[in-house]
Amino acid sequence: MDVPAQNDQAMTRDSLYGTAAESTYAGITSFMRRRYSRDLRGVDVVVSGVPFDTATSNRPGARFGPRGIRAASTGIAWERHWPWTFDPFDHLAVIDYGDCAFDYGTPQSVPDSIEAHAEHILNGGCAMLTFGGDHFISYPLLKAHARQHGRLSLIHFDAHSDTWPDEEGKRVDHGTMFWHAAKEGLVDPSRSVQIGLRTTNDDHQGFQVLDTRQVHRQGCEAIVETIRARVGDHPVYLTFDIDCLDPAFAPGTGTPVCGGLSTVQALEILGGLRGINLVGMDVVEVAPAYDSADITSLAAATLAMEMLCLYAARHKVGR
């Protein structure tokens, strides 16, 4: 019988490049079997988790999201990501850095811990693919990325706008991050877009909104063209809240809302964005305790791979 030449590639992999098969049901569950490492030398993209979920307004559990996404990714780690014509791991040196450390007993200190975690990685010359955790984590991540790249375009997939006001500026809340990001100049709303929204908030802080009805009625190609026209060649931070997907496709999340995108719609839209100037990305709000047969974690892992392909296409493969 054929035996894989190598197993537990998270620890035994010789090179940061390439894709090789090992048993999907065994071994160390790094994301896509990438090497676990804290060594940033020669690394293009760092995958890390932020297992934080005390900013949630409904069901907790997204602290287990990074672990769930990593585990689900082992089932798709054996081959080139379809339908892309190149393997991003042939072009990108990618490591799994593990998770951000913070003190759960002092929640007000967590944002600074996340920002410092991101700043260390970005200062090492690496891009970041981050797994939440609840969506609040995008706020300190955006702070670190804006310091590195300047004012950003935001491409935001979600059921919720996350632009509810926080006038006192003290809330650690997964519904206020992009209100802060707009007010503080971390992102440029005139160059930013929110996709899949289907909850009520009349103040969108200047972001263009392509709500779920527009996606269903106009189709993916039209949505892609609108996004591309909005962000142009501006540096883009891409954030995907898994509750953008309809609960039929992503039940494992804390604030599910009916009427969302299908997994194939989300993948088609992301795939159509090849060439955007992607500089940072995250996938958040996966809560495995509410999942069914790991379909939410699998969707998140697949979307994350789409993001890596987008990053490689712009920065390594060419347009």
> Whole-angstrom Cα distance, residue 63 to residue 220?
31
pLDDT level of residue 202 (50, 70, 90 thresholds): confident
Domain 9-317 of CATH type 3.40.800.10: yes
pLDDT in tens, 68-125: 999 999 999 999 999 999 999 999 999 999 999 999 999 999 999 999 999 999 999 9
> Whole-angstrom Cα distance, residue 278 to residue 44?
13
3-state secondary structure of 230: helix
pLDDT in tens, 298-311: 999 999 999 999 99
Query: Hey, what's the torsion of the CAs at 193, 141, 308, 255, to 10 degrees?
Result: -60
Residue 319 pLDDT more than 80? no
> Whole-angstrom Cα distance, residue 83 to residue 299?
15
Q: What's the pLDDT at 170?
A: 80
Closest CA to 228 of 163, 160, 319, 139: 319
> Whole-angstrom Cα distance, residue 125 to residue 134?
26
Residue 205 φ/ψ region, left for φ over 0, alpha for ψ in the -120 to 50 degree band, beta for the rest:
left
Residue 237 pLDDT more than 70? yes
Q: Radius of gyration (Cα) for the chain, nearest Å?
A: 18
The domains of the chain are located at 9-317
pLDDT in tens, 2-40: 445 578 999 888 899 999 888 888 888 999 999 999 999
Residue 246 pLDDT more than 70? yes
Residue 61 pLDDT more than 90? yes
| Stretch among 23-32, 41-50, 93-102, 285-294 having the lowest mean pLDDT | 23-32
> Whole-angstrom Cα distance, residue 5 to residue 16?
17
b or e along 188-218 (b: 16 or more beta carbons within 10 Å of the residue's beta carbon)? bbebbbbbbbbeebeebbebbebbbebbbee
Residue 1 pLDDT more than 50? no
Residue 315 carries which side chain, given as an amino acid letter?
A: H
Looking at the DSSP bridge assignments, the partners of residue 152 are: 187
pLDDT in tens, 168-196: 878 888 989 999 999 999 999 999 999 99
Mean pLDDT to the nearest integer, 254-271: 98
Query: What residues have CB less than 8 Å from 210, skipping those under 6 apart?
Result: 193, 194, 195, 196, 197, 223, 226, 227
Q: What's the pLDDT at 5?
A: 55
b or e along 58-82 (b: 16 or more beta carbons within 10 Å of the residue's beta carbon)? eeebbbbbbbbbbbbbbeebeeebe
Q: What's the pLDDT at 119?
A: 98
Closest CA to 278 of 252, 239, 224, 248: 239
Estimate the crossing angle of helix 295-312 against helix 263-271, to 10 degrees. Answer: 10
